[in-house]
């Protein structure tokens, strides 16, 4: 069963209930973020990078540690091209089902995989790769407290077109266009589920969003904009 129509409703309910998460940018800014979960993938991610590079669009990737280990050269390419990197856990397991020790290990394993693949110092990765998106968006208040205590930043979403169900490129595009607004944080997938269409979807989406007056930023830039807004 496709749940795409419910995600905007969930967003409106959850965003005010969990203000410590990054759900979107500010509604007064045309800055939006394209984010990609479940990669890197040896085939789909390079195809996606070609499209992003064609339009010179910044984007953010939330990686599974196991996929980094399976495609280290792709991970290194994404990092070296300057894209923002976040964590999605080592395997695609719901965070609330993990013990605190297992969750911590999952995140640290992913950081270690990134350090090895991208030839980075582990301490550097532990300091700078701290954005975390829970698989399937599943979390509890306890999950968020653990992430905060460990120094991670939880990142959610405001536009979820359910591309992993592969409803078709045109349907995913129309769902995004229907939901997008200033500050939107869009979730697509470049992994084994949804990734086969991701390059074509983004190639269709980007020019349409640019025509509507939006410009693209990273997740980190959304955090910075949020901080600036609250500090005014």
Q: Which domains occur in the chain, in start order?
A: 33-230 (3.20.20.370)
So what's the pLDDT on residue 1?
46
So what's the pLDDT on residue 98?
96
So what's the pLDDT on residue 137?
87
Q: How far is C-alpha 212 from the geometric centre of its chain's CA atoms?
A: 22
* Residues of the chain falling short of pLDDT 50: 1
The predicted model scores a pTM of: 0.94
Q: What is the CA radius of gyration of the chain?
A: 16
So what's the pLDDT on residue 18?
75
Residue 38: closest CA among 194, 222, 154: 194
Whether 183 contacts 32, CB under 8 Å = yes
161-211 pLDDT, tens digit each: 999 999 999 999 999 999 999 999 999 999 999 999 999 999 999 999 999
């Amino acid at each position: 069963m496709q749940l795409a129509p419910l995600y905007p409703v969930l967003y409106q309910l959850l965003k005010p209930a969990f203000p410590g998460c990054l759900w979107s940018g500010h509604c007064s800014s045309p800055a939006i973020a394209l984010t990609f979960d479940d990669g890197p993938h040896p085939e789909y991610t390079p195809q996606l990078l070609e499209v992003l590079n064609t339009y010179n669009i910044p984007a953010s990737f939330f990686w599974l540690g196991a996929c980094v280990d399976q495609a280290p050269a792709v991970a290194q390419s994404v990092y070296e091209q300057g894209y923002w990197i976040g964590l999605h856990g080592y395997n695609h397991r719901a965070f609330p089902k993990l013990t605190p020790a297992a969750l911590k290990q999952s995140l640290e394993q992913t950081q270690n995989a990134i350090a090895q693949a991208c030839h980075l110092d582990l301490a550097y990765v532990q300091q700078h790769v701290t954005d975390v998106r829970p698989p399937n968006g599943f979390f509890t208040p306890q999950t968020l407290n653990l992430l905060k205590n460990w120094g991670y930043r939880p990142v959610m979403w405001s536009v979820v077109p359910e591309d992993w169900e592969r409803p078709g490129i045109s349907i995913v595009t129309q769902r995004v266009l229907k939901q997008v607004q200033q500050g939107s944080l869009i979730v697509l997938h470049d992994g084994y589920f949804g990734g086969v269409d991701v390059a074509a979807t983004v190639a269709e989406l980007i020019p349409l969003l640019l025509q509507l007056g939006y410009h693209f930023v990273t997740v980190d830039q959304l955090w910075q904009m949020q901080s600036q807004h609250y500090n005014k």
